Amino acid sequence: MEIDHFSFKQVELPLKAPFRTHQGTVTTRKLIIVEVVDRHGMKGYGEVTAFETPFYTYETLSTAWHVIKDVLLPALDWSSIEHPSTFAGKTSFVQGHPMAKAGIEGALWDLYSKRLGKSLSEVIGGGRQRVKAGAVLSLSDSLEEDLSRLKREGYERFKLKVEKGKELAAVQSVQQIDDSLPIMIDANGQYSKNDMDHLVSMDPLGLTMIEQPFQPGDFYLHQQLQQQISTPICLDESIMNVHDAVQAVQFNSCHVINIKISRVGGLTAAKSIHDYCLHHQIPVWCGGMVESGISKAHNLALASLKNFSIPGDLSSSTRYFERDIISPGITLENGSIEVPTNPGIGVVVDEEFLQHVTTQTYVYSI
């Protein structure tokens, strides 16, 4: 791929409003933007979407920065990487750290597609021109105000972050505003085996799904719950790689899988999970990480694949930020977002604003 150098920028984007789950609150979104530049000056962009603290997974921005700078970059023979899909195999010697890997691989995919003069969606075999969008409502959101606005904008699926014991009140609050809205709840693994009866009692609520009720990796409890309810269980944090997806499907631990590029280690793994689920008739949808337009553009390419049949966490650029680092931003029309067709991820990075929000930079020359 004729790589000349990498540039890593830690950025800080203020949120329009705090984003809160039972695990923690984010008021300013810090991210790592990855730039890979070839010998002709062409750039590819990726994004590391880890958080500052390990409340979602064990990774943080600090650990990702360290693994990228001190382990991944100096260990690889970059001249031997001719296709982005080979990156995963060459970095398998590093246990875990999928978000650090996904940021680099994303930049490689963008550069590779640009060098071909094709959109990333086309390169990976996507077929959709538009993808349906869903909205996430955090615990700090004003339900009535936000739902009214999100309905006007056309979002087609609503995910509620919930706290144990307060789920019914949250669902009823939404249903009182509009009982026709498709609602799912996201538990982020806060339940235990002692809560099985409580979870079963939610089955009559008519939810589109319950996402990640038990701890990551607990395929047994998810299997036991799915056997007792008709509401589909969706796994999120439990699916860290292709093998996890295979286990979940073979054990019948869920009926839906949420695929996040950064959580599974990159687009190569994400597509493999999609393909496996397609073969086994398990619907998937694309999850979000309160990320910038760079990561959103990667998500749109992924969500253009055939089996992404459920509206994902694919929000517009203005959903969380006053200003995105791409220009123009990603926009929502009638409940869906257009999949970029320009080469690579198909969006233009606002270099001036990117520099403005950058707090730390590291350059690695090949």
Q: Which pLDDT score, from 0 to 100, does residue 172 have?
A: 87
Question: 30, 101, 161, 271: which is the annotated catalytic residue?
Answer: 161
CA distances from 217 to 21, 132, 240, 245 (A): 20, 29, 9, 11
pLDDT average, residue stretch 42-59:
96
Q: Are residues 304 and 228 both part of a single domain?
A: yes
Are residues 354 and 236 part of one domain? no
Find the catalytic residue in 260, 271, 296, 306: 260
Q: Does 202 share its domain with 318?
A: yes
Tell me if residue 104 falls in helix, strand or coil: helix
Question: Between 139 and 63, where is the model more confident?
Answer: 63
CA distance 222 to 215: 9
pLDDT digits (tens, 9 = 90+) for 123-153: 999 999 999 998 888 765 677 778 888 888 8
Distance CA 108, CA 106 (A): 5
Residues 89 and 228 in one domain: no
Under the banding of pLDDT at 50, 70 and 90, the label for residue 22 is: low
Structural domain for 310, as ranges = 122-338
Residue 44, in any domain of the structure = yes
Residues 129, 55: one domain?
no
Number of domains in the chain: 2
In the numeric block, which tokens belong to residue 131?
Answer: 């993808």
Task: Verify that 310 and 167 share a domain, yes or no.
Answer: yes
Please report the pLDDT score of residue 112 as a whole number. 98
Alpha helices in 91-166 (DSSP H): 98-116, 120-124, 143-153
Three-state secondary structure of 203-268? HHHCCCCEECCCCCCCHHHHHHHHHHCCCCEEECCCCCCHHHHHHHHHCCCCCEEEECHHHHCCHH
Report residue 128: phi and psi, to 5°. -85, 140
Portion of the chain with pLDDT greater than 70, in percent: 98
Collapse the DSSP code of 319 into the 3-class scheme (helix H, G, I; strand E, B; otherwise coil) and give the result: coil
CA 108 to CA 265: how far, in whole Å? 13
Assigned domain for 198 exists: yes
Burial class (CB in 10 A: 0-12, 13-18, 19+), 44: buried
Task: Characterize the bridge pairing of strands 210-211 and 183-186.
Answer: parallel
Minimum mean pLDDT range among 137-141, 205-209, 214-218, 270-274: 137-141
Pairing of strands 256-259, 233-235: parallel
Same-domain check for residues 88 and 106: yes
pLDDT digits (tens, 9 = 90+) for 155-199: 888 899 888 998 988 898 888 888 888 899 999 999 999 999 999
Is 260 annotated as catalytic?
yes
pLDDT value, residue 40: 97
Active site residue 161: yes
Burial of residue 129, with CB atoms counted within 10 A of its CB: 0-12 exposed, 13-18 middle, 19 or more buried: exposed
Q: Are residues 194 and 74 in the same domain?
A: no
- 54 shares its domain with 41: yes
Say yes or no: 157 and 97 in one domain.
Answer: no
pLDDT at 66: 98
- In this structure, the answer to whether residues 131 and 96 fall within a common structural domain is no
Q: Please report, for the domain that includes residue 72, its CATH number.
A: 3.30.390.10
Q: Which residues contact 355 (CB under 8 A, 6 or more apart)?
A: none
pTM for this entry: 0.94
Residue 121, CA atoms < 13 Å, CB-side half-sphere: 22
